[in-house]
Amino acid sequence: MKFTATQIAGILEGKVEGNPNVEVWNVAKIEEGAPGMISFLANPKYTHYIYETLSSIVIVNDDFEATAPIQATLIRVPDAYACFAKLLAFYDQMTQNKQGVSSLAFVSSSAQCGENLYLGEFAFVGENAKIGNNVKLYPQVYVGDGCIVGDNTVLYPGVKLYRNTVVGKNCILHAGAVLGADGFGFAPQPDGHYEKIPQVGNVVVDDNVEIGANTTIDRSTMGSTHIHKGVKLDNLVHLAHNVEVGENSALAAQVGVSGSTHLGKNCVVGGQSGFVGHINIADGSKFGGQSGIMGSIKEENKEFMGTPIQPLRQYLVSNARFRHIDEMARKLEKLEKELAELKSGQTEK
């Protein structure tokens, strides 16, 4: 799909400086530009690239002043970064605007489906499921019996929703995400084997949630594993049974949250962090990457890091000292030797 500079300027309410009919069909960093590409310049550190870029169009701020000839057509806007983000959103919407139900998709006769759907090849919608308006189910998506998927939600290829999973409006679930698999519930028996505990609850995802590729959220033993509105989960996150994640919290890749742990609102969790089960985390808590959280956090808006976690400032001080541990060990060994020699001399007297 091609766009002219005039068309793009119309979308961004900008002003064209150069050839208004030049066409672009893809985006690129300004330093990696090529003919047919559109780039942007917002950071002054990259200004020198505008004089050598091969991109056909560059979006710049209104106050940009050129100091040498520029080959590219410019589109001047009040905020180049914000306008480029707007353009990317427009482009993404255009390219992802799929509609229609494939003849290879299956929808149960008892399912309720809204309007303007996209159901790709081998998408499956089970009995008594409810699918809202403008929903997109890409190929090989599985929506189990009794599931609910809200308006404008997108499920990318291979997403699996086990029975009775609820996903709200305006959500995005990336490829391979699995919601509603059994929680890890097993009771040890006297003879050493494990008896499976049935997991009869479900997963509830509120509106405006984004869930990364191959992330897994387990169904609750009873009640619901609950992901509140605005939460953002990266790829490869695992949330165990009966976990609750508060509004607008963000968890980076490979975070693991054990069963029945509750995270508050606006929490931020760095990659590869782990939470033990049955703890409560206060609103606004922030954890650096690879943090080990082994107890509840009661005070809001605090920062932590390390395993086990420490307050961030304390962790940084401790880490700085740890780098000198070899030197400290040598000094201690020397002091012990000198002390032993002093004691030996006193004994001889």
Answer for the pair 12, 89: CB distance below 8 angstroms, yes or no.
no
Query: At 177, is the secondary structure helix, strand, or coil?
Result: coil
Q: Which residue is catalytic, options 226, 228, 241, 262?
A: 241
CA atoms within 13 A on the CB side of 215: 25
Q: Is 238 a catalytic residue?
A: no
284's tokens: 């606004």
Spatial separation of the C-alpha atoms in residues 274 and 318, rounded to whole Å: 21
Answer for the pair 305, 291: CB distance below 8 angstroms, yes or no.
yes
Spatial separation of the C-alpha atoms in residues 151 and 131, rounded to whole Å: 8
CA atoms within 13 A on the CB side of 317: 5
Spatial separation of the C-alpha atoms in residues 243 and 216, rounded to whole Å: 12
Spatial separation of the C-alpha atoms in residues 31 and 52, rounded to whole Å: 8
Task: Select from 102, 146, 274, 149 the least CA-distant residue to 159.
Answer: 149
| Residues with catalytic function | 241
